[in-house]
Amino acid sequence: MQRRQFLLVSTIAASSGTFGVSAFAASPAKGEGWREYEITTEVNVGEKTGEARVWVPVPMAQLEGYQRTLDVKFDAPGATKVELFSVPRSDARMVAVHWKNTEAPQTVKLTTRVALRDPSVDLGAAGTARKLPASALREYLQPTSLAPLGGIVKQTSDKILAEAGHPKDAIGKARAIYEWMVVNASRDGAVAGCGTGDVTYMLNSGKISGKCADLNGLYTALLRASGVPARDVYGVRVDTSERGFKSLGKAGDISKAQHCRAQFYADGYGWIPVDPADVAKVALEEQPGGLPKDDPKVRAARAMLFGAWEGNWMAYNTAADVRFPGSELTAGFFMYPNGESANGRLDSLDPAHFAYRITSRKLA
């Protein structure tokens, strides 16, 4: 049903120029800890250079036990063409907007309604989740342009696991690499956006430092190199933390609140949430001057973020090496609006000049 709607909306928008059509429709989630949010993304290509294109990420329709996208609407009154586009062989979706008329408004507004809740996996209990077939996991064992799995990545993964006593199971490997990341990695507040995600560069530099796309990108690469399916999940924070972490939440204007989380797969448990990058964020940003890694606040984050996330963040996709339709532009990951004009690529990390604004509002 959702796929048919998806294709229908694309056809209507492209053929009639009628926008503001609902792109998803799912039954609202009720009870069991679900919270509902409205996320609005507004883009204005202010350069007026003639032809321009913008690609705005659309949240995942569903993320197991965590997220349900209830409704997506878009409005682009001056556009030549609008498509709701699904990236081949991935879970990434986007609203792709094309303008040719410089006299028309080059704006697009995307309004999303999502239901979120706190996911956690009881790793102390016997696993009873349905086992996924190898074909469903294969892509999460592959290298990407930012995260090759040979060379220094494989060497580092092997070294970590050897020092941990050569764990054989997925959870044992994931735990060993997580603990190594927590001890050795640090957040660099001077890095632009969420970082580049270039894990080979980071390892070769000898400095395990950066932001979420760097640190969680390294975590998933090290796991994949060990034979454990793992993936980065790209999204944006939509609310303040109810767990007492000031640094791990954002509400209202969330234009710069993008965040990458991570998951690994274990038979019997399914996809398990983790986030070593946010442990480093708590250490650096929870209070002025930072906190030592043995501080109770950092220890609490360390314990929580292996097997659980807080439900104040919306997932866009797990895609890597995304090519944007109608353009030669690509991105190693996709959690910001992207665009280009006659002057070239628009800066996704500079929402004030792109320009775009993302806001969140809690509904229930």
Q: Domain limits of the chain?
A: 2-117+322-362, 134-310
Judging by beta carbons within 10 Å of its beta carbon (0-12, 13-18, 19+), is residue 137 exposed, middle or buried? middle
* 134 class by beta-carbon count within 10 Å (0-12 exposed, 13-18 middle, 19+ buried): exposed
Q: What is the greatest pairwise CA distance in the chain? A: 66
Q: pLDDT tens digits for 12-42?
A: 444 333 334 455 556 655 678 899 999 999 9
Residue-wise pLDDT tens digits, 231-271: 999 999 999 999 999 999 999 999 999 999 999 999 999 99
pLDDT at residue 64 is higher than 90: no
pLDDT at position 201: 97
- Cα–chain center distance at 241: 18
In the predicted model, what is the mean pLDDT of the chain? 90
Structure tokens that stand for 88 in this block: 């081949």
DSSP state of 194: T
118, pLDDT greater than 50: yes
Mean pLDDT of 89-116: 91
Which H or E element spans position 232?
A: strand 230-237
Q: Provide the pLDDT for residue 17.
A: 36
What pLDDT was estimated at residue 29? Answer: 58
Q: What is the pLDDT of residues 295-320, one digit of tens each?
A: 999 999 999 999 999 999 999 999 99
Q: Give the 3-state DSSP-derived string for 72-133, with helices as H, strands as E and coil as C.
A: EEEECCCCCEEEEEECCCCCCEEEEEEECCCCCCCEEEEEEEEEECCCECCCCCCCCCCCCC
Q: Given this model, what pLDDT does residue 23 score?
A: 52
CATH class of 134-310: alpha beta
Question: Of the ranges 28-37, 328-337, 339-348, which one carries the lowest mean pLDDT score?
Answer: 28-37
Give the confidence band of 101 by pLDDT, cuts at 50, 70, 90. Answer: confident
Burial 235-252 (b: 16+ CB within 10 A, else e): bbbbbbbeeebebbbbbe
The per-residue pLDDT for 208 is: 97
Close Cβ partners of 253 (under 8 Å, ≥ 6 residues apart)? 357, 358, 359
Residue 329 CB-density burial (10 A; 0-12 exposed, 13-18 middle, 19+ buried): middle
3-class state of residue 239 by DSSP: coil
